[in-house]
Chains A and B, each alone.
Chain A
């Protein structure tokens, strides 16, 4: 099983705070992490490799700093990693990103003279929160896709995935190669050992630039992005609500109900 995992380095959005005066995001001091859902995708991929044999390759598009995210992936069980980095890639929306990833995947496959059987992506990045790159990548490659997957297995050369739906889940099969996007898995992520971290720091992580692949720069970056962000703002959600703290729980409960009745809410 030759597996590829697409990861994104993101700011840990759970650590982001909003400046109360300027109402802008405070990004200083916010750690960069491997996108949470991509980390689950990697764990699922490494478990597949352990169960069926094969190799796990990781790619990430981003600036040179994203190399650190790839090292983390190698420390967590990936065998090989490539950084996709070029000035012309900056500012890409999901359509342009899917193009760059698809072209890069072709370039890596030719370089290794081996096709990927399975491509994993997290269901969405926790910064952009779009969830569109996985399906758009599948479309670019003309592969089937199964999204929102929490577990996978292979039976007779066909992948079987557990996909979340509104009421529970479906078991869905797909022919290979296929693209899988992952939700949080039921199993925990493995913690890299000191030894694997040390090895990851020495790993050879090649950078692929636009010059290393047959890519149309017009389809990359801002040029290749049909969507344009025209405005951003931080949402104001504060209300000056009424706080209730009476002597006893019974009194607090009664006061709440009285207030709701007075306001004709309940």
Chain B
């Protein structure tokens, strides 16, 4: 887009919704989005695409958006690649934003490349850090690659919009200000149903409730070192006692011990809870890439050489089967004395 066509709606955050509910990551991104927009002297615009999602639009304003572009329709109740790509493409062409942040969920990573390709612009995947490049004033997108072994900073210097997907759980949601005022602009965009090529036939839930690792304050994770899928009972019991969410390493998911929704790491979720407890997880780089941002890391492992101990604030060398029951006892007795 030409500079002369620029208006003030320059930094966009797409708030992904599904089944009428916003995904947390979109709200998270309004926080760095606000700071970056201020730094660039631009407005922060949230784009909400969904069905019955006006509440999400209001939340976006409370969380820092100056303006919301709201696109509603029944076709957005379930996620659909063609419908969402079309809607986003249309508003980008109309308003010409300079920068777009999208949550790196499976859906975000599904439509973002489609839209970037349609607009022939650059997209940086799975970012974990955002800043403004001093020399060019462009967004500097930083992301892990090589399974978490390498960090790369990427610019999109010559095309707009500059787009990136950002991993959920990396940024914290701002404290909402219900008094904050902002404008909601409705856009009526509907792709011709004849051009919609995919359809959801059935949705199967593998987990009782959404596994909300990104928002968890405490995570207790288990890996292949548990030795047997049944031993996830130890992890669950400790998690229940602490009000924590259950996570896992890729190895345990690949072995079919636990659904993929629990996976933490480079190919799973990025998490940054207050406390992360790793049990029977050796600490492959791929896992560390997804959890090393946690405030306090506690590792329990029999192998004193396990790499997980390198990132741990507290490490217990020992068998989780002995340690967890003792931890439970100690936690319970502490609770009683308080």
Contacts and interface: CB of A to CB of B under 8 A. Distances in A.
Interface of A: 11, 13-14, 16, 18, 25, 93-95, 98, 124, 126-136, 138-140, 144-148, 160, 163-175, 178, 183-184, 186, 225-235, 237-239, 241-245, 248-250, 252-254, 256-257, 259-261, 263, 265-266
A229 to B, nearest CB: 5
Given A168-B204, A230-B140, A13 B147 contact: yes
Interface stretch (B45-53, B154-162, B173-181, B225-233): B154-162
A65 B156 CA distance: 30
B182 interface: no
A241 B317 contact: no
Contacts of A231: 152-153
Given A25-B146, A227-B124, A253-B323, 6 more contacts: A13-B286, A132-B125, A144-B198, A169-B206, A171-B200, A244-B315
Interface stretch (B56-64, B92-100, B252-260): B252-260
A13 B148 CA distance: 9
Nearest to A18: B149
Contact of A174 (B197, B256, B330): B197
Contact of A257 (B140, B285, B330): B330
A132 B123 contact: yes
Interface of B: 81-82, 105-107, 109-114, 116-118, 120-126, 133, 140, 143-159, 197-207, 210-211, 254, 256, 259-261, 266-267, 274-275, 284-286, 288-289, 292, 295-299, 304, 309-319, 322-323, 325-327, 329-331, 334
Contacts of A250: 326, 329-330
Nearest to A129: B145
Contact of B144 (A131, A175, A235, A254): A235
Interface core residue of A165, A174, A243 (most chain B CB under 10 Å): A165
B125 A168 contact: no
B201 A168 contact: no
Contacts of A169: 203-204, 206
B338 to A, nearest CB: 10
Contacts of A239: 297, 310-313
Contacts of B297: 239, 241
Contact of A232 (B117, B150, B156): B150
Contacts of B256: 186
A190 B317 CA distance: 38
B260 to A, nearest CB: 6
Given A94-B113, A136-B113, A252-B323, A227 B204 contact: no
A265 B274 contact: yes
Contacts of B154: 227-230
Contacts of B203: 165, 168-171
A129 B266 contact: yes
Interface core residue of A94, A166, A233, A252 (most chain B CB under 10 Å): A166
Contact of B146 (A13, A135, A242, A248): A13
Contacts of A147: 106, 109-110
Contacts of A241: 297, 299, 309-315
Interface core residue of B146, B312, B315, B326 (most chain A CB under 10 Å): B146
A252 B206 CA distance: 36
A234 B285 CA distance: 11
A235 B207 CA distance: 33
A255 to B, nearest CB: 8
B29 to A, nearest CB: 17
Given A144-B81, A234-B151, A249 B205 contact: no
B142 to A, nearest CB: 8
Contacts of A248: 326
A133 B304 CA distance: 41
B177 to A, nearest CB: 28
B82 A144 contact: yes
Given A167-B261, A174-B197, A145 B146 contact: no
B251 to A, nearest CB: 11
A127 B297 CA distance: 27
Given A144-B82, A227-B156, A127 B114 contact: no
A163 to B, nearest CB: 8
B207 A14 contact: no
Contacts of B202: 170-171
Nearest to B286: A14
A128 to B, nearest CB: 6
A118 to B, nearest CB: 14
B125 A234 contact: no
A230 B153 contact: yes
Nearest to B214: A166
Nearest to A161: B198
B147 to A, nearest CB: 4
A245 B144 contact: no
A265 B275 contact: yes
A219 B285 CA distance: 35
Contacts of A129: 125-126, 143-147, 266-267
A94 B314 contact: no
Contact of B81 (A25, A145, A229, A249): A145
